[in-house]
Amino acid sequence: MKKTIINRILSSRKSTLLTKPGLMAFLLALGYLILAGTYILISSSVAGNRAVDVEHLKVVEIEKGLIFVVITGALLGMLTWFLFSLIREREKKIVNQRDALIKSERTALAGLISSSVAHDINNLLASSQGNLDLLKMTIGDDKTLKKRLERVGESNRKLAVLAKRLMKASQYEQIDKSLVSLNKLIYEGLIFSRTHQEIKFCEVMVKQDEQIEINGNRGLLEQMLFNLILNAAQATDGKGKINITAHRDEKDFLLVIEDNGPGISEKDMEKIFDPFYTTKENGTGLGMTSVMACVESHDGEMDISRSTELGGAKITLRFSAK
């Protein structure tokens, strides 16, 4: 109980002492004067009683001086340690506050940008969909062209869903979830991603257990998978190997994406989830941020390591099977 009270008193005065150096210097000087004066008075009295002659008095005075140096040195060391501890704690608090402020500013900026981008996307989609409808009425019975236009229409619908997500990026709303087939998600995700210039020349291998279903938001999961495949493809310069594995262990579903690129350095690993941090010339720095947001919204976990099979990056996502 006493330690708790002392700690509270000290913690309540830390800010005052550190922000008022004049007060701190005065208190230290006053404490030293009181300590030194008390020591001189007591030690002089003791020396006078112990000394039997002048020579003996000299020896006692030397002993007094040595004792004084040892005591003040020890007290000075303790005081210095205490002050530096306060300074280190304060600096740590300042750094944490600065990081929190930067993160909140980035989040606010991301929300503002996402709302603006979503608004522009919706305007462009309206025009795109209108022209697409006109094309459908003029192509006749060309099945090949109809199929391609259907894919364009599907892409437009996905963009509309993405725009809606962007509009809600700065809002803390509960996402809609339902049972989603991970097998079907991967199959359709590969078909969709194959049309991307940086993915279509990659060698993609898929290994998955049958009947894997998770409780999640299909749109978010689709975008997450596409971002991971695109990152893997970009890491291999658009012509490497990508392995996608989906399986279930004793209690969770695991989705693993591996590539034979250079992997992720330790330096980049520390900042890879920071908004707007990118190592790519034309990157936005939001891909992995989006992936992490999706994983967290599904109460999942993500681990990044090096692939023992392909040698590049290995992203392991874990979702609860409950």
pLDDT at 322 over 80: no
Query: How far is it, in rounded angstroms, from Cα 258 to Cα 320?
Result: 21
**C-alpha separations of 224 from 8, 65, 127, 270, 302 in Å:** 47, 73, 27, 20, 12
> Quick one: 184 and 223 in the same domain?
yes
Does some domain include residue 173? no
Residue type, 124: L
Closest CA to 82 of 124, 27, 125: 27
Whether residue 300 contacts residue 252, with contact meaning beta carbons closer than 8 Å, is answered with no
Query: How far is it, in rounded angstroms, from Cα 202 to Cα 240?
Result: 5
Query: How far is it, in rounded angstroms, from Cα 109 to Cα 102?
Result: 10
Task: Provide the residue range defining the domain that includes 155.
Answer: 110-167
Does some domain include residue 293? yes
**C-alpha separations of 19 from 63, 142, 219, 233 in Å:** 40, 78, 52, 53
Does some domain include residue 276? yes
Query: How far is it, in rounded angstroms, from Cα 301 to Cα 320?
Result: 9
Residue type, 138: T
> Quick one: 152 and 194 in the same domain?
no
> Quick one: 12 and 70 in the same domain?
yes
> Quick one: 86 and 156 in the same domain?
no
Does some domain include residue 172? no
Mean pLDDT of 171-179: 67
> Quick one: 195 and 311 in the same domain?
yes
> Quick one: 96 and 190 in the same domain?
no
> Quick one: 142 and 182 in the same domain?
no
The confidence band for 61, taking pLDDT boundaries of 50, 70 and 90, is confident
**Residue 44 neighbours by CB under 8 Å, 6+ apart:** none
Residue 243's pLDDT is: 94
Closest CA to 235 of 208, 211, 268: 268
Here the tokens at position 162 are 């993405």
Residue 256's pLDDT is: 94
> Quick one: 273 and 200 in the same domain?
yes
Residue 316's pLDDT is: 93
pLDDT-above-90 percentage for the chain: 10
- What's the total number of domains in the chain? 3
Residue 245's pLDDT is: 92
DSSP 261: S
Lowest-confidence segment of 75-84, 96-105, 147-156 by average pLDDT: 96-105
> Quick one: 42 and 64 in the same domain?
yes
293 vs 13, residue with greater confidence? 293
pLDDT at 225 over 80: yes
Does some domain include residue 286? yes
Query: How far is it, in rounded angstroms, from Cα 139 to Cα 149?
Result: 10
Query: What does the mean pLDDT of the chain come to?
Result: 77
3-state class of 273 per DSSP? coil
Q: How many CB atoms lie within 10 A of CB 221?
A: 24
Whether residue 158 contacts residue 204, with contact meaning beta carbons closer than 8 Å, is answered with no
Mean pLDDT of 230-234: 89
Does some domain include residue 9? yes
What backbone torsions phi and psi does residue 261 show, to the nearest 5 degrees?
-80, -165
Residue 177's pLDDT is: 82
> Quick one: 145 and 81 in the same domain?
no
Query: How far is it, in rounded angstroms, from Cα 148 to Cα 195?
Result: 11
| Most confident of the following: 43-47, 179-183, 187-191, 249-253 | 179-183
Residue type, 125: L
Does some domain include residue 291? yes
Long-range pairs, 30-39, Cβ under 8 A, ≥24: 32/72, 35/72, 35/75, 36/68, 36/72, 39/68, 39/71
Lowest-confidence segment of 137-141, 206-210, 253-257 by average pLDDT: 137-141
7 vs 258, residue with greater confidence? 258
The CA-to-CA distance between both ends of the chain, in Å, stands at 45
What stretches of the chain adopt beta strand conformation (E)?
Answer: 178-181, 203-208, 213-216, 241-248, 252-259, 301-306, 313-320
pLDDT at 11 over 60: no
Query: How far is it, in rounded angstroms, from Cα 131 to Cα 135?
Result: 6
> Quick one: 184 and 316 in the same domain?
yes
> Quick one: 118 and 189 in the same domain?
no
Please say which residue of 79, 102, 125 terminates a domain.
102
Please say which residue of 102, 127, 144 terminates a domain.
102
Here the tokens at position 221 are 């999961």
Please say which residue of 102, 120, 154 terminates a domain.
102
pLDDT-above-70 percentage for the chain: 76
Query: How far is it, in rounded angstroms, from Cα 225 to Cα 182?
Result: 10
Does some domain include residue 124? yes
Question: b or e along 155-175 (b: 16 or more beta carbons within 10 Å of the residue's beta carbon)?
Answer: ebeebbbbbebbbebeeeeee
